[in-house]
Amino acid sequence: MMKTHYFVDFGIRGVALRLLFKLLPKLTHEQLYEIAQILYVDGPNECQIWTLEIYKWIDFGIRGVALRLLFKLLPKLTHEQLYEIA
């Protein structure tokens, strides 16, 4: 069995991007958007891939908030509608 060797970038940018990946779930939408804009300006390289990843996290966060709100309100709305029918 051949062993696969992965190139690990220990440059400042490579380390920063790996750390950023660990921080993504903890950042606010505003912070994610600002970081994505900074990385996008950097040019067509690995940073654009990270920009897309950040935008996916933003989208996931917005959907997550909307779903949590819906699940919180749904029983109340359903109860109110059933009460009106009865």
Q: 17 by DSSP, 3-state: which? A: helix
Look at residue 61 and tell me whether its pLDDT is greater than 60.
yes
53: left (phi over 0), alpha (psi -120 to 50) or beta: alpha
Give the separation between CA 17 and CA 53, rounded to whole angstroms. Answer: 11
* pLDDT at 34 (0 to 100): 77
What average pLDDT is seen over the chain?
Answer: 66
Q: Alpha helix locations (H) across the chain?
A: 12-23, 29-41, 46-85
Q: Specify whether the CB–CB gap between 67 and 74 falls below 8 A.
A: no
| pLDDT, tens only, 10-48 | 666 667 767 776 777 777 777 777 777 766 655 566 666
> Domain map of the chain by residue range?
25-51
